[in-house]
Amino acid sequence: MIGGGIIGMSIAWQLSKSGAGVTVFEAGRVGNEASWAGAGMLAPGGELSERDRLFDLAMESQRIYPGYVAELSRESGVAIDYRECGAFSLAYSESEAEDLRSLATKQNLMGIYSEQFSPGRVPGVRAGALAAQYYPGDAVVNPRDLMRALVVACRRANVTLRELEPIREVAERCEFDGTVLAAGAWSDQVKVVIAGDLVSLPTVIPVRGHLISFDLTGAGDDPALCDVMVRHNHTYLLRRWGNTIVAGATTEHCGFDRAIDGRVAEELAASAAELMPALSNRGYSAWTGFRPGTPGGQPCIERLGDSSIWLAYGHYRNGILLAPVTAQLIAAGINQASSQMGSPLPAGLRR
């Protein structure tokens, strides 16, 4: 496994459950990149408007999420903040209300259920909303809990974790049944050589996002505030266990620049406070992460030709949501390919 984010670690855990010996090579520390930064919305209602492969994958992953979380929590002993809390999408102008209604009509036909809700009854939000749509199926999870749990579950299942070991090249060797490239926004930087030829990989584009979180501890916090996720245009608010509200997110094309831009964070805080006035004049902390984007918006979850190399990257804004289904697909593919071949397929790693 190349990459120890939620995708690599979920696949490693899934493979280990079928008895495979798995080694994860991680350039830095496991779970420190996008899978640490993500907000953790599991929200087809907020994300999907087309019936494409992403839609099918997302709906299946949403369906199996409760089982994935329950098993992971049981196997690791780590409590995971996962809540099927639902979400409100809000409109503050006639044109936004029209967009909200037509999106909901389209999504209902696709199988994403939502219903109109009285905008004046959405708790905590700025007055004056003209329309609200309630998506009961949208959920949230804390990705940092998932990563902590995956590390424990993988260790218990004898997965070897090799941190601070970046893989630069994958070449033909007879060491592994399969090699999975799951290096998030860095995946296409790994050199892949098959039968002596350098293979060109599907492109992945780093898309930086800023997120902020408000800690409401000791500030007369209303526990019902943001109990249901809230969205308006590009702003979303969700609650974590305890007294934390997360607000996101920006979409920036600036390469791998990790710097937190104070002005951008200020704008996020202002949008959050505009949507939910109780967040005005509160302190917050900010961070950034790199979503692994692809030119067509679809993730790469596939075998590379008939080689023993598998691609699992490009999950863009939905990698936390898509982790369980990706793990199932890749693990099933590798197990099936190895059983058909009857002997290990060639693929080695070079550092």
Ligand X SMILES: Cc1cc2nc3c(=O)[nH]c(=O)nc-3n(C[C@H](O)[C@H](O)[C@H](O)COP(=O)(O)OP(=O)(O)OC[C@H]3O[C@@H](n4cnc5c(N)ncnc54)[C@H](O)[C@@H]3O)c2cc1C
The residues binding ligand X (CB under 6 A) are 2-8, 25-28, 32-35, 37-41, 166-167, 182-186, 190, 209, 211, 248-249, 289-292, 313, 315-321
Min separation Cβ 34 and ligand X, Å:
4
Which residues does 284 contact at the CB level (< 8 Å), separation at least 6?
Answer: 212, 213, 214, 215, 247, 265, 269
Q: Which is nearer to ligand X, 94 or 175 (CB)?
A: 175
Write out the two tokens for 299: 């993730």
Min separation Cβ 185 and ligand X, Å:
6
> How many Å apart are CA 151 and CA 13, to the nearest integer?
9
Q: Which is nearer to ligand X, 5 or 124 (CB)?
A: 5
Q: Which is nearer to ligand X, 2 or 131 (CB)?
A: 2
Min separation Cβ 275 and ligand X, Å:
17
Min separation Cβ 75 and ligand X, Å:
19
Min separation Cβ 139 and ligand X, Å:
10
Q: Which is nearer to ligand X, 187 or 307 (CB)?
A: 187
> How many Å apart are CA 4 and CA 8, to the nearest integer?
5
Q: Which is nearer to ligand X, 125 or 247 (CB)?
A: 247
Min separation Cβ 121 and ligand X, Å:
25
> How many Å apart are CA 296 and CA 262, to the nearest integer?
31
Name the burial class of residue 224, with classes exposed (0-12), middle (13-18) and buried (19+) by CB atoms within 10 angstroms of its CB.
Answer: exposed
Q: Which is nearer to ligand X, 176 or 186 (CB)?
A: 186
Min separation Cβ 23 and ligand X, Å:
11
> How many Å apart are CA 346 and CA 351, to the nearest integer?
17
Q: Which is nearer to ligand X, 131 or 194 (CB)?
A: 194
Q: Are 46 and 114 in contact (CB under 8 A)?
A: no
> How many Å apart are CA 318 and CA 323, to the nearest integer?
9
Distance (Å) of CA 230 to CA 146, 277, 348:
22, 13, 46
User: What DSSP element (H or E) covers 108?
Assistant: helix 94-110
